[in-house]
Amino acid sequence: MSLNAFDFRDIDPGERVLMGPGPSDVPARVLQAMSAPCIGHLDPVFLSIMDETQQLLRFLFQTENALTIPVSGTGSAGMETCFVNLVEPGDEVVVCVNGVFGTRMVDIVNRLGGKLIRVDAEWGRTIDPELVRQAVKGRHPKVLAVVHAETSTGVCQPLDDLCAIAKESGALFLVDMVTSLGGLDVALDRTGIDAAYSGTQKCISCPPGLSPLSFSTAAMKVLQQRKTPVASWYLDMSMVSSYWGADRKYHHTAPINMIYALREALRIIAEEGLEARFARHRVNHRALVAGVEAMGLSMLVAEGERLPMLNAIRIPEGANDLKVRKALLNDFSMEIGGGLGALAGKVWRVGLMGHASRRRNVFLFLSALETILKAQGVSIGTGALEASARVYDAMTV
């Protein structure tokens, strides 16, 4: 087979406003850091960058956990890492399911030969702690797992009650923080979370490719006392931790330039400050919802159970889901997400994550959506931008 290299043009996707379920917009500083020279993964300079990245991750996770590292892989790799290291065949595992990513946890537990105890809630609603308490009654599960920010629905799951139930039953508390880390206040040590994982491409505003993860002392003890080898060699934290620890034992070649990018993204978060960052996500969420409701549209998730960084909007009657999303992309260079699973064709998922959580993006989305819906002949209310602006004005009083 022959080819002409000049047939392949330079990569230029054009500018996009990323307001879907991820990835989110990446600051220029992060992209610039990513383009720094690639050096060896055991180079002393890179080892110091690894140390700094761990310090910044502990700041973001609000933890003192020694094993706090970025796993080489996306958020799903972080999910699998937690389960393959903490679950052995026959272990009882409670999984709370109210969306796509809870069902993914279920799949992994079954693949590992764990004994699944499943607790379900309607998609778009939080898990009832009382149902979890009933499910563990008389049992001693090894792990209780839940998705904090269910990206498929926009639900924010309260954690304190579930954490208490985990401790009462002697289980490790495992939390999916892929969408929430960097946008919501979840302190691992204060809350009592034993294992958590996230993804770089959501509220951290770094390209996808790494999964920040943290194990408590209790989780590390479970790992060290396993009776069987970790099912995945690549994700075996008993070995990977030695590479990220003082020994620096070679395990795999770390994605060097991605770690440059993560370090810079975490620096940006530290400069803004956690409280300021969480507040920014909250106000932009409220402004978006005010504008959406002024148009006569409604949110999938009830107030008080909503995520600030992922907004599920019910598609109004008469609107064509795919045509609306295509028009946003083609006419406004804006990406939003459609519904997944049972919610396909029923909701739009609009992200306000990290660098993308800005007043400009809120106004741009509302004005673009209003224009597109009117062009499709959908009857909507007026005053979306004014309603949104009032939220911002109230913050300055």
| Tens-digit pLDDT profile for residues 64-95 | 999 999 999 999 999 999 999 999 999 999 99
State the pLDDT at residue 396: 67
Q: How far is CA 278 from CA 14, 185, 241, 282, 284, in A?
A: 30, 7, 30, 6, 10
Could you report the per-residue pLDDT of 329-346, keeping only the tens digit for each? 999 999 999 999 889 999
Q: Are 79 and 73 in contact (CB under 8 A)?
A: no
Q: Are 278 and 286 in contact (CB under 8 A)?
A: no
> If 0-12 CB within 10 Å is exposed, 13-18 middle and 19+ buried, where does residue 161 land?
middle
Q: Are 72 and 251 in contact (CB under 8 A)?
A: no
State the pLDDT at residue 397: 46
Q: What is the CATH number of domain 274-396?
A: 3.90.1150.10
The CATH class of 28-271 is alpha beta
Q: Are 213 and 68 in contact (CB under 8 A)?
A: yes
**Rounded CA gap, 132 and 112, in Å?**
22
**Rounded CA gap, 391 and 293, in Å?**
13
**Rounded CA gap, 247 and 255, in Å?**
19
Give SS3 for 225: coil
User: Structural domain boundaries of the chain?
Assistant: 28-271, 274-396
Are the folds of 28-271 and 274-396 the same?
no
Which residues in the chain land under pLDDT 70? 396-397
**Rounded CA gap, 134 and 300, in Å?**
28
pTM for the full predicted model: 0.95
Please name the residue that has the structure tokens 């563990």.
136
**Rounded CA gap, 200 and 75, in Å?**
8
Q: How far is CA 141 from CA 166, 196, 248, in A?
A: 8, 18, 34
**Rounded CA gap, 225 and 176, in Å?**
23
b/e per residue, 291-314, with b = 16+ CB within 10 A? Answer: bbebbebebbbeeebbbbbbbbbb
What are φ and ψ of residue 346, in 5° steps? -110, -25
